[in-house]
Structure 1
């Protein structure tokens, strides 16, 4: 845990405990493997009763009816040996990185993650490669009871995301343009407040488990997803245990400093209709 929390090298961690680098490596991987095997129940899609609590909280706090969570993604930066260096892993900020996509609930708990993909991908492409996208498109996720608005129509379950994501009936992104109506601007304000939960959760993840916030030195790309998963599990365990971070734990201002914001132009026609229904419901 010291290695994951500090992000210090194996040599530095070993020196602090009076053991060698190889011992630190072995102990770290035994811990990671045991967490993967025994702690996965801390990162699951919520059951119906819990999801109803999440939706009620999103509506009470952010005015988003039937919202099930917020989506965001971050880059885990790494160095690669020259023999493994590839444009596939070189992102727009000219770093080698691996993507982590997360969906968070009202308490900034991760309820779905996708990782292992190159940081050179766009946010929208990463989404479409995830199992979450495939489940949503197949009607096997976000298919819970709709909220019936007598005047405006049914509001189905959805999540919120920034402009880097496409607009779908189950993924609400902001309105764009310079001359938005008052209802559109009101929707955007509420949607942005809810969306920020994802960014805050990722900042907390990287601030608490700093191995993800430092440049990873020549990681095994096949093992790095396990490190990321375990850090996400530990993040959730803190929340599940109702624990709090110490006040002196400094969190990064943003989880992806140095990266410009992408803008996805894809607008699904049914997604546009659903966004308008939600906007009208908020105003009524």
Structure 2
């Protein structure tokens, strides 16, 4: 028994000696936050903020105050929590640039996984707090007057869809692929005369026709029920014209949806189509500014397909806020 205990003791001592010779690794790598703390927050002027964060610093700080209840974190014994300003900045930088998670992590001095967590948390907060009061129907009379000033009477908005490239979905990937071999998700939107989003619908696969998407939206049901527009008709010649929205030829012709003529056209119909196309371009221009400002929408969104609608909705919300404050990225 004594010899057995002595052997165990020597074995334990040898094992402990081995442990003390193993080179230990830090549980977190050292990073620097000097760029954010001292350069961005203290040195950058409004022009630099606008070019990099798509908004001026004052607007950014207002956003942070509004999102703080959903993003505020407490310090722990291991580390200090990220400030709300840094949370929002990381998410906006990821949305506004084509940078990878690793590049954004190095820029802000955080871990790569932290960038992914922050992005989804901020987008969720934007959708919960800002979406419903930002992507709204707006003032009907102002929008109708805006389109009338452009040259199209009694118009409430223009509708269209755009394709957002995504990674291959885990399930039913064939439903999201196009003839070029890319995977897409559809964003369908109704915009006002200024190119702000009035109504959005996201998450449909590429192979679903635009008209089919439209028929399955809450917007279509409201239009059919007559609850979306006021009953305001304009008499043109001998015809009473209700308030309408403008769509391309893929949409159905409805009493409240105007689309171009198809088939054999005479000069008057061609003239009408050209005029309608000119005013319908407001939605195309809105999509262009959306993707130009939030560059993550140009390349493949490196997100799980379940998270894509949340990010798209957040980008549309940010678009409306920046457009409303005339902080357009150029």
TM-score by length of 2: 0.69
- Note the residue ranges of structure 2 that are not aligned, 5 or more in a row: 1-91
- Note the residue ranges of structure 1 that are not aligned, 5 or more in a row: 247-284
Tell which deviates more after alignment, 225-234 or 91-100.
Answer: 91-100
Structure-2 residue corresponding to 1:251? none
Cα deviation for residue 185 of structure 1 reads 2.3
**RMSD across aligned positions (CA):** 1.6
Q: Does 1:73 align with 2:158?
A: no
Aligned CA distance change for structure 1 residues 104 and 16 (closer, same or farther; 3 Å): same
Structure-2 residue corresponding to 1:6? 97
| 1:243-279 C-alpha deviation (Å, 9 max, x unpaired) | 2223xxxxxxxxxxxxxxxxxxxxxxxxxxxxxxxxx
Alignment of 1:131-280 (within 5 A): 131-149=218-236, 151-182=237-268, 184-217=269-302, 219-246=303-330
Q: Which protein, 1 or 2, shows the higher relative CO under an 8 Å CA cutoff with sep ≥ 6?
A: 1
| 1:31-90 C-alpha deviation (Å, 9 max, x unpaired) | 1122112212111112xxx211111121221x2110011111111111225x43522222
* In structure 2, distance between residues paired with 1:95 and 1:126: 20
8 Å CA contact retained: 1:143, 1:156 = no
Structure-1 residue corresponding to 2:149? 60
* In structure 2, distance between residues paired with 1:66 and 1:199: 20
Structure-2 residue corresponding to 1:124? 211
Structure-2 residue corresponding to 1:86? 173
**Aligned pair partner of 1:23 in 114, 117, 124:** 114
* Aligned residues between the structures: 238
* In structure 2, distance between residues paired with 1:206 and 1:144: 35
Tell which deviates more after alignment, 225-234 or 121-130.
Answer: 121-130
* In structure 1, distance between residues paired with 2:287 and 2:265: 32
8 Å CA contact retained: 1:158, 1:169 = yes
* In structure 2, distance between residues paired with 1:127 and 1:201: 19
Cα deviation for residue 143 of structure 1 reads 4.0
Tell which deviates more after alignment, 235-244 or 191-200.
Answer: 235-244
Which structure has the larger Rg? 2
| 1:70-124 C-alpha deviation (Å, 9 max, x unpaired) | 111111111225x435222223443211110011101100000001111111111
Larger helix proportion of the pair = 2
8 Å CA contact retained: 2:301, 2:308 = no
**Aligned pair partner of 1:44 in 104, 120, 136:** 136
8 Å CA contact retained: 2:189, 2:197 = yes
